[in-house]
Amino acid sequence: MRDRNPRQLEPDKPAVLILSDGAVEEELINPILWGLEEEGIPSEFRETVAQNGESISKKAAYQSLLGVGIGINERGSTISLHHRDLLDEKPLFILSGEDRFSEQLRILGTNAARLVKGEPLVFYDQPAGRSKSGSSNPSPQIQLDQLAKIIAAAVIELLPVFPFAGESP
């Protein structure tokens, strides 16, 4: 039997929605549900049939009142975490092949909950604790597109006042 949180909420209440394309094993679903439960965020699991080319995780995110969904593809070949605001083809995390062991699945559930709560996410490569190397690892998107524009704008604005802005004290 699927182990369900005894205090599970009714359907159509705010919850992270987990959709699977057809039936999948319990071993795949349960760790995800536990990850969510430990973080105190309600979840809802349903089976569905994917339309051609449809992103099932995106569909789950859309249908979730919390805007966060997890999609499990055919027989669990890939599992992805999606957010309503993200593009269809760009889920936040994708697990596939050998990534799908229990610990990784539970982290996926934890992260789905934390995405709802706005708390820092957990990464498998740096489980708990400190991430000293994380200091110089900014997102490529921010770095290239956004930041260049922001800095350029700031520099143009500041240039007449401080011609050499940006040096350390």
Residue ranges that bind another protein, judged by CB under 8 A: 3, 5-7, 34, 37-40, 83, 85-86, 90, 92-93, 114-115, 117-121, 123, 128, 130-132, 134-139, 141-143, 145-147, 151, 160-169
Question: Which CA distances in Å does 93 have to 80, 90, 107, 123, 153?
Answer: 6, 9, 11, 10, 33
Considering the complex, state which of residue 17 and residue 41 has its C-beta at the smaller distance from another protein. 41
Residue 23 Cβ vs another protein, minimum distance, rounded to whole Å: 23
Neighbours of 70 (CB within 10 A): 33
Do the strands 43-48 and 16-21 form a parallel or antiparallel pair, or are they unpaired? parallel
Residue 99 Cβ vs another protein, minimum distance, rounded to whole Å: 16
Considering the complex, state which of residue 47 and residue 123 has its C-beta at the smaller distance from another protein. 123
Residue 130 Cβ vs another protein, minimum distance, rounded to whole Å: 5
Helix (H) or strand (E) holding 11: none
Residue 33 Cβ vs another protein, minimum distance, rounded to whole Å: 10
Identify whether the C-beta of residue 71 lies closer than 8 Å to the C-beta of residue 46.
no
